[in-house]
Amino acid sequence: MYKHIPIHERNIRVLRLLPNPIKTAQLECELIEAALDDLPRYEAISYTWDGQLPSWEINCHGEKLMITENADTVLRRFRRDSEEWLLWIDFICIYSHRTTMKDPRTLRFAP
């Protein structure tokens, strides 16, 4: 199981989605720490949690990380065949350390 690693206060996590030309292959990624004042180019993904609980697996640094079905669908749809993709997706980049999830409507985001 993926182990959460705390990050510096002025940094964020960005997901590096590894390429695979086989759309049904397991999703593989790495979480990288990036400084807010020196961010790499990345894309933010917006999708609905739709009340889902994490029940789908992604391979993160060789460890199992649980994500929602909707997150899995979005990542599979946009995974590239031959180049990695840097992105920010809330469920993974913010909440990768949670084994249980609160209702997302009650979460507060702070800088």
Pairwise CA distance, residues 70 & 46, whole Å? 11
Is 80 part of a structural domain of the chain? Answer: yes
pTM, 2 dp: 0.77
Is 23 part of a structural domain of the chain? Answer: yes
Is 109 part of a structural domain of the chain? Answer: no
Q: Does residue 110 surpass a pLDDT of 60? A: no
CA–centroid distance for 109 within its chain? 16
Alpha helices in the chain (DSSP H): 69-78, 90-93
Is 110 part of a structural domain of the chain? Answer: no
Q: Which of 79, 84, 99, 78 is nearest to 31 (CA)?
A: 84
pLDDT tens, position by position, 52-83:
888 899 999 899 999 999 999 999 998 999 99
Pairwise CA distance, residues 67 & 57, whole Å? 6
Is 24 part of a structural domain of the chain? Answer: yes
Number of domains in the chain: 1
* Structural domain span for residue 21: 11-99
